[in-house]
Amino acid sequence: MDNHFLLRFENLERVYKVGDSEVRALGGITHSIAEGDIVAIMGPSGSGKSTLMNIIGCLDKPTSGKYFLEGEDISTFDKNRLARIRNSKIGFVFQSFNLLSRTTALENVELPLLYSNIPGKKVREMAYRSLEKVGLKGREMHKTNQISGGEMQRVAIARALVNEPSLILADEPTGNLDTTTGNEIMEVFKLLNKENKKTIILVTHDPEVAVVARKRIYIRDGLIEKVEE
Ligand code: ADP
Ligand code: MG
């Protein structure tokens, strides 16, 4: 396998069993994503975007097919190994931010490291640095109920970055934001991609958001319909 691909899917399938029937959410996807890329996944509701993101994020496993992450076929990994990969290599950003309420930006960002072996002082330093990367220097002690939606999403991105993942996954990261704020969040992703070499994969319905990506993958009925680069 080519090493400069961060991810590769080979005939990836995901079939959900619902009672006696089966839903084929992914019907055999083959594709590679290069390290350092920004990719937008687009497609109508129910087309399989979240199913694909869950597999990429090691939250779910394919029914069949292979998923290589950094050259390792992780479709064979058990739950514990998947959790370890998830915690060390992947940062998640959600549409609804998923922050702890009435808690400081700093504490939210420290959260993923609280159960690590990293000493508290170092955790704090890492969280400060992460907040600086998303433009929130000086706002560390602001509580999540005292900041705007755009700032909340920045905190969430800082939290996703704090353990230095190689891959950032974002499901509709601008879905709860107005256009201007959404564009600012996309600028944050662009900067992280450029300065910190993060690979970013995001799901979006918004063509304006998707143009920021270097590659757009359109999914329909669990298959790749087209790819724009
Ligand atoms: P999207 O994110 O593009 O809206 P999803 O990946 O959520 O699409 O869903 C793809 C298909 O799989 C849909 O038909 C959906 O109903 C079905 N599906 C998703 N998750 C489950 C599940 N946990 N159990 C059964 N069917 C599911
Ligand atoms: Mg979805």
Residue nearest to atom 1 of ligand 1 (CA): 46
- Enumerate residue ranges in the chain where pLDDT < 70: 1-3
Query: What's residue 196's pLDDT?
Result: 86
Length of the chain counted residue by residue? 229
Query: What's residue 180's pLDDT?
Result: 95
Round to whole Å and give the CA distance between 211 and 193. Answer: 15
Q: Report CA torsion sign: 134, 135, 139, 145.
A: negative
Identify which ligand lies nearest to the alpha carbon of 25: 1
Round to whole Å and give the CA distance between 41 and 13. Answer: 17
Look at the pTM and tell me if it is higher than 0.95.
no
Tell me the per-residue pLDDT of 128-163, one tens digit each, with 9 for 90 and over.
Answer: 999 999 999 999 999 999 999 999 999 999 999 999
Round to whole Å and give the CA distance between 180 and 187. Answer: 11
Query: What's residue 167's pLDDT?
Result: 96
The CATH number for 64's domain is 3.40.50.300
Domain count, the chain: 1
Nearest atom (ligand 1) to Cα of 203: 2
Residue nearest to atom 23 of ligand 1 (CA): 16
Query: What's residue 1's pLDDT?
Result: 45
Q: Got the DSSP string for the chain? A: --TTEEEEEEEEEEEEEETTEEEEEEEEEEEEEETT-EEEEE--TTSSHHHHHHHHTTSS--SEEEEEETTEEGGG--HHHHHHHHHHHEEEEETT--PPTT-BHHHHHHGGGTTSSS-HHHHHHHHHHHHHHTT-TT-TT-BGGGS-HHHHHHHHHHHHHTT--SEEEEESTTTTS-HHHHHHHHHHHHHHHHHH--EEEEE-S-HHHHTTSSEEEEEETTEEEEEE-
Q: What distance in angstroms lies between residue 139's CA and the mean position of ligand 2's atoms? A: 32
Query: What's residue 115's pLDDT?
Result: 83
Query: What's residue 116's pLDDT?
Result: 87
Q: What distance in angstroms lies between residue 195's CA and the mean position of ligand 2's atoms? A: 29
Tell me the per-residue pLDDT of 95-124, one tens digit each, with 9 for 90 and over.
Answer: 999 999 999 999 999 999 988 899 999 999
Domain span at 70:
5-228
Round to whole Å and give the CA distance between 149 and 94. Answer: 12
Q: What distance in angstroms lies between residue 48's CA and the mean position of ligand 1's atoms? A: 6
Round to whole Å and give the CA distance between 108 and 106. Answer: 5
